[in-house]
Structure 1
Amino acid sequence: MERQIHELVKGGTDYVIALRRQFHTFPELGREEYETQKKIMAELKSMGLEPRPAAGTGVIAEIKGGKSGKTVAIRADIDALPIQDEINQPYRSQNPGVCHACGHDGHTAMLLGIAKVFTAIKDELSGNIRLLFQPSEERLPGGAIDMITDGALRGVDFVIGAHLWQPLDIGTMGLTYGPMMAAADQFTITVQGRGGHGSMPHQTIDPLYVGAQIVLALKTITGNNVNANELAVLSLGVFKAGDAFNIIPDSAVLQGTVRTFTQSTRETVFASIDRISSGICAAAGATYKLESSFGYPPVVNNPEVAKTVAKVGAAVLGKTGVLELNPAMVAEDFSYYQEQVPGCFMFIGAGNKEKGIVYTHHHPKFDLDEKALSYGVEIMASAALQLMNE
């Protein structure tokens, strides 16, 4: 049946590419994917399926095999980003300030291609395929939880998903056999001092100076407080204080992100942020407020499911085309599905320097080598078939 899948994927290449370009031309932000949802529903109905709305602007559909067996869910995220598209292509975004600069247009098209493959051979399947078109992956709290609440994983035995990945060359794929992507959290520290004239600092408590000490001290946490065997990143992206060169401000605001793979490391980092902020502010006579926002949990692949996916990937791309990656510190709400059932998330190489496809994800000139779409369809379809038979 793998050969049959290969031929069906080959025959559906133009269909998937055309869909990807249409979704790229008319992108929609998370929780606003109304036209995207309509298009997905229409395509699935044309295949004889009975899709239903889920999680507001998402879609769930089932392909029932001719024989009983396991159910494998395949997930695609469908939302775009608030970025102005700058690619010089006929499928450039027509929606100002909105762009599929992360590849979700390709994910959506690939899952529709997978649907077309499995509807053609459904009578031969020993099991079922659950299609999950998820909204709002880019916006916290994400759409995965709502999809699960709407029954996305009810009766599911395995779940797989993929991200078209520009850093990997076309013709390759990457995955891990454990932690794959990090938990992504945010913090805000507001330092309250006492403002005054720049010529009389002795009458003030300078929150900019206090904040600068906090910045330097926070950068020691991953080296001094986190176990050397654990992965953790702490980065600051915002430091705001004052509006005039000769006025010491009343307050300063620092914002940053924390990326970890275990709950214990997450707790260690945030406890250290609080302790450092408290100590430095107390020493200077300032006060502070720490606000923490916890994002998606880490993506952790089930080793056995990952082995199945890697074996299929090697059959499609060749053994050298399957790469075992180091965990990435970016985040994905696919993790919520993996907390419920065994699953695997993979990267499908979509970069191509020869074609000028070199701009990374979330860049206004981001694009992908569309040959990756067929690879993604075949790998995920074949992996799902293998998982149904395990």
Structure 2
Amino acid sequence: MVATPVNLSSVPKFKIRSEILALQSNLVQWRRELHRWPELGFKERRTAAFVQQKLSEWGIPHQGSIAQTGIVATITSTKPTGGRVMAIRADMDALPIQEENIVDYRSQIDGLMHACGHDGHTAIALGTAFWLWQHRDSFRGTVKIIFQPAEEGPGGAKPMIEQGVLEHPRVEAIIGLHLWNNLPIGTVGVRSGALMAAVESFTCTILGKGGHGAMPHQTVDSVLVAAQVVNALQTIVARNVDPLDSAVVTVGELHAGTKRNVIADKAKLNGTVRYFNPALGNLIPQRLEQVIAGVCQSHGAGYELDYQRLYPPVINDGAIAALVRSVAETVVETPAGVVPECRTMGGEDMSFFLQEVPGCYFFVGAANPDKDLAYPHHHPRFDFDETALGTGVEIFVRCVEKFCR
């Protein structure tokens, strides 16, 4: 489904320095090369080789093979010693989706596609690295540019942190961006506090007693129990979560049965949990199991529950968010182009970095319905307006200049 069209005549434009505008054709070329060759999490070998080749060509010090395919480039100012340390993070992985776009840079790998913009994130990070390396006198201190694998799963941020990417020197602040088709080109979404939700999942197997469909009194109907569990789980958010907090409990799969006249002995539910408030991290799984146990007990059924905590919520530091917002307001011609209410129940493992150091994750609007570039993320026809690439580089560079001075 195509996103709602936006009147682009009212959208503010960006102020981008001429040297970064001159990089635009390179940014597009890099992004399209990466788009042609998508790779899944921890398998980004071709992508990592491409990134390292560029960094080596430019003479930028870097370390590869971190958390398998991750890379960290380190750029130190030519100014006298001192200054601060900022990190910039970009993810590199693609998705198991068959691309439907008819473009000359479409995916060359059957069943894989950059359907979330990570090819653009990597190109922006490369452009930022190139510009900062050429202008090492424009800031004071050190910038680490982190090319991270496996954001889409199973998660590359945590193992990169465990392998020391935030140390030597210790990172004082971190920023990252997401090209965002939920916002039109010409806008930037920045907010302090919770931006993206925690991502957790559960699998529950209802253990009943099978039998003939015509003799239900001899059985414990797992399908009936599962149906009541699905309904009852909706009361967790409706009656246990403060209405001023946002949370979601969704059952996305229910599998049971083999024949129409056989009552199934097992039913399997798979679902996801999302929330912004970290305090709900204990409440929701506790209530979820209580609800399942209560429904099963009332019907004489058993259950097996596997609950997985994947990513914590993305919570931006107030001071770093204010820094990014102030920069965005200098890049966008009018303050109306900086959107503060841009939260989403989608998740991101940038959250692990933000748990370690103050930082800000923000959105760069990339949808352009006039060019048929407004399909949602993870759609087989996802694509974005590539003019957002230069915008991303400009914002990153200005954040470094303002923080590291």
TM over 0.5: yes
Q: Is 2:109 aligned against 1:98?
A: no
Please report the TM-score for the alignment, with normalisation by the length of structure 1.
0.97
| 2:356 match: secondary structure | coil
Q: Residue 61 of structure 1: which of 46, 49, 73 is its match?
A: 73
**Deviation (angstroms), 1:268:** 1.2
| 1, 19, 24: which one aligns with 2:30 | 19
Q: Deviations over 1:233-266 (max 9, x none)?
A: 1111011110111110111011111111233212
Residue 267, structure 1, aligned to residue 282, structure 2: yes
Contact 2:178 2:364 in 1 (8 A): yes
Q: Which residue of 1 aligns with 2:178?
A: 163
For the 8 Å contact 2:366–2:385, the answer to whether it is kept is yes
Q: 1, 6, 31: which one pairs with 2:17?
A: 6
Instruction: Please give the alpha-carbon distance, in whole angstroms, between the structure 1 residues aligned to 2:165 and 2:332.
Output: 30
**In 1, are the aligned partners of 2:189 and 2:342 still within 8 Å (CA)?**
no
For residues 394 and 354 of structure 2, the distance between their equivalents in structure 1, rounded to whole angstroms, comes to: 22
Distance 1:283-1:124 versus aligned 2 partners, 3 A rule? closer
- Given that 2:62 and 2:72 are in contact with CA atoms closer than 8 Å, whether structure 1 keeps it comes out as yes
Written as runs of structure 1 = structure 2, the 5 A alignment for 1:1-390 is 6-53=17-64, 54-67=66-79, 68-140=82-154, 142-154=155-167, 155-318=170-333, 319-389=335-405
Flag as ranges the 4+ runs of structure 1 deviating above 6 A.
none
RMSD: 1.2
Q: 3-state SS of the aligned residue for 1:366? A: coil
- Paired residue secondary structure (2:343): coil
Determine if contact 2:219/2:263 at 8 Å carries over to the other structure: yes
| Amino acid corresponding to residue 269 of structure 2 in structure 1 | L
| CA distance in 2: counterparts of 1:271 and 1:71, whole angstroms | 40
CA distance in 2, matches of 1:20, 1:307: 29
More deviation, 74-83/50-59: 50-59
C-alpha deviation, 1:50, in angstroms: 1.9
CA deviation map 1:279-328 (0-9, x unaligned) = 11111111111110101111101111111111111111121110002421
3-state SS of 1:73 partner = strand
Point out the more displaced range, 323-332 or 82-91.
Answer: 323-332
Shift of 1:150: 2.4
Inter-partner Cα distance in structure 2 for 1:282 and 1:292: 20
In 1, the alpha carbon distance for the partners of 2:124 and 2:362 equals: 14
Secondary structure (helix, strand or coil) at the match of 2:17 reads helix
What displacement does 1:151 show?
2.1
TM-score under structure 2 length normalisation? 0.93
Q: Please give the per-residue CA displacement for 1:185-205, whole angstroms capped at 9, x wherever unaligned.
A: 001111110001111111111
1:350 is displaced (CA, Å) by 0.5
When residues 36 and 260 of structure 1 are mapped into structure 2, their CA distance, relative to the original with a 3 A threshold, is same
Q: CA deviation at 1:71?
A: 1.0
Q: Give 5+ residue unaligned stretches, structure 1.
A: none
Would you say the 8 A contact 1:73–1:159 is kept in 2? yes
Name the CA distance, whole Å, in 2 between partners of 1:315 and 1:333: 28
Q: Percent identity?
A: 42
Q: CA deviation at 1:228?
A: 2.3
Give SS of 2:307's match.
strand
CA distance in 2, matches of 1:92, 1:99: 8
1:17-73 CA deviation, whole Å, 9 max, x = no partner? 100000000111111001111110010111111211121101111011012310110
- Residue 5 (structure 1) shift: 7.6
| Aligned-partner Cα distance in 2 for 1:10–1:229 | 43
